[in-house]
Amino acid sequence: MAATSSRLRVRRDGDVTQVEFIDRNILDEANIQQIGEEISRLVDATPTPKLLVSFANVDHLSSAALGTLITINNKVKDRNGQLRLANIDPQIYEVFKITKLDRIFQIHETSEKAMASFQ
Amino acid sequence: MNDGGPGAGTGGAGGARGPMSSVKQTGAEFETILIRGYRPEIDRAQERVLSALERLGYPDASRFAVRLAMEEAITNAFHHGHKGLGPEDPIRLDFCAAPERVELIVEDQGPGFDPGAVPDPTKDENLEVPTGRGLLLMRAYMSEVEFNERGNRVRMVYRRPDLARGEGPAAAAAAEKTGDNSGC
């Protein structure tokens, strides 16, 4: 079953919630806040969330977007859930490396690989 | 023929706060833009810089770098610098784009801050803190980042890596085209 919210495409695959961004640029603070709220609601909807966030459409993001991802990661961890990131463009992956956030996020090349990593 | 008068370079369109824009004889483009705290104004200003870079043939990676640093500097200016001010109070962006070098100056009207007091966000204990990465990204992607003493103005320089001075024939050609100094 597919549901569409204004900033995200959301899909359920078994017990995993897959999220894809609609925006190519995740820069606008109001949009980032909305994205954070929407994903938080998805995290809250299951007792132990399994969440896959795909960056397939994303060309640009800012440190504010990274902040929202960290907040989501903290929230997922608090609930003993699992968060995976996938399909990150090499330029954006570089941003994760510079900020050393590749150390706290589990990043996979493709959605398939990310899906296979859930326990 | 082009003496750098207003509107000569990038069309000079824009809203009520029409920018001063110009093309120097060296091929450099420069402009001053006042930006109020509304996303469409921020986007328009960034678009002016990025389209200048595109006209000058900067590769995608360079535009990515400049865009990210510019976004972070502008966000910092509004978020921290203009805390307590309204969205109508503008920040100022000065940019000069030459074939091998881009200079950006972002100035806010706030009291300034001490960039040395910003904690290192890459330390283990800070990795899960959601804020405080803007400055790190500006420094990582730009060749030079410096603040004025008050801490309300940041000057950033990006040097195009494939045309850096003294590196190969492209650099020589660029230097010849633009003069020893880039015009910025």
CB atoms within 10 A of CB B64: 20
**Interface predicted TM-score of the whole assembly (ipTM), two decimals:** 0.92
Assess whether pLDDT exceeds 80 at residue B178: no
Backbone angles phi, psi at B31, to 5 degrees: -165, 150
Q: Considering chain B, what percentage of its residues have pLDDT values greater than 90?
A: 72
pLDDT score recorded for residue B162: 82
Report d(CA A62, CA B38) in Å as an integer.
17
**Closest to A99 (Cβ–Cβ): which among B61, B64, B121?**
B121
CATH number of the domain encompassing residue A96: 3.30.750.24
The pairing of strands A106-108 and A82-86 is parallel
**Closest to A67 (Cβ–Cβ): which among B71, B122, B131?**
B131
* Chain segment A61-99, per-residue pLDDT in tens: 999 999 999 999 999 999 999 999 999 999 999 999 999
- Report the predicted TM-score, pTM, of the whole model to 2 decimal places: 0.86
CATH topology of domain B20-178: Heat Shock Protein 90 (3.30.565)
Residue in chain B closest to A27 (alpha carbons) equals B71
> How many CA atoms within 13 Å lie on the side-chain side of B108?
27
**Closest to A71 (Cβ–Cβ): which among B64, B75, B130?**
B130
Q: What share of chain A is helix, strand, coil (3-state, %, to 5)?
A: 45, 25, 30
* Chain segment A1-41, per-residue pLDDT in tens: 444 456 899 999 999 999 999 999 999 888 999 999 999 99
pLDDT score recorded for residue B165: 57
Residues of chain A contacting residue B140, judged by C-beta atoms under 8 Å apart:
98
Say if the Cβ atoms of B137 and A99 lie within 8 Å: yes
A104 at B interface, C-beta within 8 A = yes
**How close does chain A come to B22, measured CA to CA in Å?**
28
Say if the Cβ atoms of B137 and A30 lie within 8 Å: no
Q: Is the CA virtual torsion B121, B126, B127, B130 positive or negative?
A: negative
What total number of domains does chain A contain? 1
- The pLDDT-based confidence of B169 (bands split at 50, 70, 90) is low
* Chain segment B77-127, per-residue pLDDT in tens: 999 999 999 999 999 999 999 999 999 999 999 999 999 999 999 999 999
Say if the Cβ atoms of B67 and A60 lie within 8 Å: yes
- The pLDDT-based confidence of B22 (bands split at 50, 70, 90) is low
- The pLDDT-based confidence of B68 (bands split at 50, 70, 90) is very high
- Using the structure block, give the residue that is written with the tokens 């050609």: B173
Taking the mean position of all CA atoms in its chain, how far away is CA B132?
19
Domain hosting residue A48, numbered range: 2-117
